[in-house]
Structure 1
Amino acid sequence: MRLTMYTDFSLRILLYLGAKERSELSTIQDISEAYHISKNHLMKVSHELGKAGFIETVRGRGGGIRLAHAPEEINIGEVIRRMEDDFHLVECFNSATNSCPISPVCGLKGVLGRALHAYLNVLSEYTLQDLLLNKNELQAILQPQRIDN
C-alpha cells in the first residue's frame, strides 16, 4: 500500500508545524524551503488541511499557518483517511469502474480489504504527538540554514 504524494506532503506539513510552538505561525515558503518541495504543491495541500480542520490559516501581512489542535488530538489515521482520494488497491474496490470478470467469486478482494482495514487501524493508533518524540532533532533539521559571512 502506498500513500499519494498529497498525503505525504500533508503529513510533512503537520510534522513541521508540530515541531514548532503551537501558537507560532509558519509560512508555506518556510515549509517549502525546509523540505525542498514546490510552494504551489504545498499551498494546495495546506488549503485542504485547513478545510479538514487540521490547521488554521491566518491571512494578511505576518500571517501563516499553524496547527488547529494540539498534536495529541491529531490522529494520523484520520489525517490519512481525509487526505487520500481513494483506497482502491485493486480495480474491484471501485464498483463504478470495475470490469474484472472474477469479482463476484474472487477471494482476493476480501483479503486486501482486511489488509487495508488493518493498515488504517494501525495508523489510527498514533497521533501527531507520537511522531514528535524527537521534536528537537526535527527542529534542527527543518530550521533554515543560515550562511555566515
Structure 2
Amino acid sequence: MQLSTHTDYALRLLIYLAIADGESPATVQDAAARYRVSAHHMAKVAQTLVQLGHVNSRRGRGGGLSLAQPADAIDVGALVRQTENLTLLECFGPNSTCPIDPACRLKGLLGRAQNAFLETLDGHTIADLVGNAAELRALLRPENDVLPNPE
C-alpha cells in the first residue's frame, strides 16, 4: 500500500512537533523548510491536523503549531485511517460494477492485506517514532540544508 503525500506530511509534521525544543514556536514554514517540502502543501496538512484535533494552531506574533495532545496519545494507525482514502479498488466502494464481485477472492485477499497493514500501525504512536528525538533534531537542524525549499 502506498500512502498519499498528505499522510506522509501529516506524519512528518507530527514528528517535527513532537521533537520541537519549545524555544520558539514551530511554524509551517520552518517544518516545510526542515523537510525540504512545499510550505503550501504543509499548510494544508497542518489545517487537516488541526481539524482532526491533533494539532493546536495559534495565530499572530508568537503563534505557531503545537501538539494538541501528548505524542503517546496519537495512534499512527488511527491517523492513517483519518487521512487516507482506503478504497483500494472500485469494488471496495458501495457501487461496484465488477461482474465477478460476488465471487471474487482477490477482493478478500486485498482486504485482509490492507487490514494487516493497518493492524501493524495500530498501537504505535508518534511517541514511538520519536524515541530517537536527539538524532532527529540533529538531522533537521537548519545547518543541514543542502537544497532550497521548493516553493
TM-score of the superposition, structure 2-length normalised? 0.90
Which secondary structure state, in structure 2, belongs to the residue aligned with residue 100 of structure 1?
Answer: coil
- State percent identity of aligned pairs: 41
1:56 and 1:19 map into 2 onto residues whose CA distance is 15
TM-score of the superposition, structure 1-length normalised? 0.91
Q: Runs of 5+ in structure 1 lacking a partner?
A: none
Matched, 1:116 2:114: yes
1:73 matched residue in structure 2 = 73
Deviation at 1:143, TM superposition (A): 1.7
What amino acid does structure 1 have at the position aligned with 2:61?
R
- Please give the per-residue CA displacement for 1:53-75, whole angstroms capped at 9, x wherever unaligned: 11100111111101111111111
2:29 and 2:7 map into 1 onto residues whose CA distance is 19
Deviation at 1:116, TM superposition (A): 1.1
Deviation at 1:115, TM superposition (A): 1.3
Deviation at 1:108, TM superposition (A): 1.0
2:37 and 2:62 map into 1 onto residues whose CA distance is 22
1:43 matched residue in structure 2 = 43
1:87 matched residue in structure 2 = 86
Matched-pair contact (CA < 8 Å) for 1:75–1:128? yes
What amino acid does structure 2 have at the position aligned with 1:93?
F
Count residues with an aligned counterpart: 145
2:24 and 2:68 map into 1 onto residues whose CA distance is 11
Q: Runs of 5+ in structure 2 lacking a partner?
A: 146-151
2:10 matched residue in structure 1 = 10
2:50 and 2:82 map into 1 onto residues whose CA distance is 12
1:136 and 1:106 map into 2 onto residues whose CA distance is 49
Deviation at 1:99, TM superposition (A): 2.1
Matched-pair contact (CA < 8 Å) for 1:24–1:66? no
Deviation at 1:23, TM superposition (A): 8.6
Alpha-carbon spacing, 1:128–1:23, altered in 2? closer, same or farther (3 Å): farther
1:62 matched residue in structure 2 = 62
2:81 and 2:107 map into 1 onto residues whose CA distance is 19
